[in-house]
Amino acid sequence: MLRGNFDSVTDSVIILTPYIFVSIGCAFVVFFLAGLDRTPWRYSSVGDHFQVVILTVLSILLALVLTFALNRLTPVARSLPVVQGALIVSILICARSAARLWHARQVHIDGNNRINERHETVLLVGANTVAELFLVSAKEFAAPRVQVTGIIAEEPKLRGRVIQQTPVLGVMKELQEILQSLDVHGVTIDRIVVAIAPYRLQPHSLEALLEVEKSSNVVVQFLSERLGFEDYRQKASLPLDQMLNSVPRQRTVARFREVVDLDHTNSTTKSFRLGKRIVDIVSAAFLLVTVAPLATLIAFMVALDVGFPVIFWQQRPGLHGRPFKLYKFRTMRAPHDKYRTRIPDDQRSSAIGKILRRTRLDELPQLYNVLIGNMSLVGPRPLLPCDQAAEYAARLSMRPGITGWAQVNGGRIIPTSDKLILDVWYVENASWILDAAILFRTVRMVLFGDRINVGAVNQARNHLGLNVPLMMTPAE
């Protein structure tokens, strides 16, 4: 069809009938004997895709040999097997990849729809088979509640490598520095899991782990002890499934469940959020192209001012509390000096950084977060995990936004508690008109600075049954 511009298709098919049937027969034999049909597509890997290529080449070669013996390949053009092989490989690999992505998406949605009372962040010690097994087990049984943020190895040459999509952050002697660096990025480690037998740890490694456990709230847990193979320490370990049962958190789950149930039953809400996601994708793609020159200039200024890297990230709770990396242009210098001493935040700011924060231009990289689905243009602003109060978890039922109702009604000059209240009010009253108003007020906020809207704060408080008005005049 391609070689003949789609003319005389019927005649070509008739002439190629022997080759067609021989090819189909060879493909069935080769693919079935190799067991390709027994591979679940949703679990296909690069190795399976490579197998598709090899078996396709074998089936076509076998078809060519048999057809040559039948009619000397007289009607078969030399380009036909190449086009045929390309089509077979492309269709099979694309179908398998699509099935895998769909399965991953369904697992992601199922995980997000569960009410997770606590997200635990884990640092894994050890780069071995046991560590790999723990990573696979955590993804299978505890995702997304348990997040393994990185691996600590004992060999420096492994730094920067990746095991099960989890990066090796450094070695044991750098444990304190790694914990401090993660803290700067908004990642608080709840538990350190040691996948190395205690007797195989170097003395300084064991001392570093025990020092972390004594000087912080981080729980150090040896897998060998957890699995019952060692009685190395008498200290009891916290179970993976320990949950918080405080009264505020119970109220959070109830209110969160109401919002989630509303999302699943209200067709208007579904259509609004679907339309909102489409608008986010189109707008973010357009804005990324439009502001690319400005972003390049800002990146150059940041590199001259505070150095590399020019992009800073922090882990924040996103939709349904699932952690994601929020990106910004760097506006502060390195958190530690050459002696590894922590520098106060007020001494790390730069003149250019202050301008970027004042104009919100440091938020431009978050358009990428919007494009990939972590954020929305308008929504509750993602807070640090320590600022996400349990009783206001309902705000996590919507994608976090670059700007939001709390930002245009007080922003950085109102307490975090009022931001949470305003965000919950927005989630329960979101609409196209409200989003348009927020975008308009965002422009005014960038031009004239933050101002507290006392009426909006009191309205949100009354809506949630908090009858304590904000005692402040609009001018303040």
Confidence of residue 389 (pLDDT cuts 50, 70, 90): confident
120-226 CATH pick, 3.40.50.700, 3.40.50.720, 3.10.20.30, 3.30.1360.70 = 3.40.50.720
More confident residue, 252 or 336: 336
Percent of the chain with pLDDT over 90: 35
Q: Which residues pair with 120 in a beta bridge?
A: 146
pLDDT of residue 64: 92
Tell me the mean pLDDT in the region 271-281. Answer: 92
Residue type, position 363, single letter: E
The DSSP secondary structure of 78-99, one letter per residue, reads: TTHHHHHHHHHHHHHHHHHHHH
Which range has the worst mean pLDDT, 83-92, 151-160, 386-395, 418-427? 386-395
pLDDT of residue 467: 60
- Calpha distance 211→209 (Å, rounded): 5
Domain limits, the chain:
9-112, 120-226, 247-463
pLDDT of residue 107: 59
Number of C-beta neighbours around residue 106 at 10 A: 11
Query: Using one digit for the tens of pLDDT, what is the confidence trace for 65-77?
Result: 999 988 888 888 8
Cα–Cα nearest to 405, from 360, 362, 452: 452
- Calpha distance 374→370 (Å, rounded): 6
Cα–Cα nearest to 135, from 159, 164, 158: 164
Query: In whole angstroms, how large is the CA radius of gyration of the chain?
Result: 29
Two tokens, residue 333? 């210098």
Query: Using one digit for the tens of pLDDT, what is the confidence trace for 341-356?
Result: 777 767 778 888 889 9
Which range has the worst mean pLDDT, 86-95, 334-343, 374-383? 334-343
More confident residue, 470 or 116: 470
Residue type, position 202, single letter: Q
Confidence of residue 108 (pLDDT cuts 50, 70, 90): low
Confidence of residue 473 (pLDDT cuts 50, 70, 90): very low
pLDDT of residue 469 exceeding 70, the answer is no
pLDDT of residue 235: 38
Tell me the mean pLDDT in the region 211-224. Answer: 88
More confident residue, 8 or 23: 23
Confidence of residue 476 (pLDDT cuts 50, 70, 90): very low
Long-range contacts of 346-354 (CB under 8 A, 24+ apart): 350/305, 350/306, 351/305, 352/301, 352/302, 352/305, 352/306, 353/302, 353/305, 353/306
pLDDT of residue 5: 65
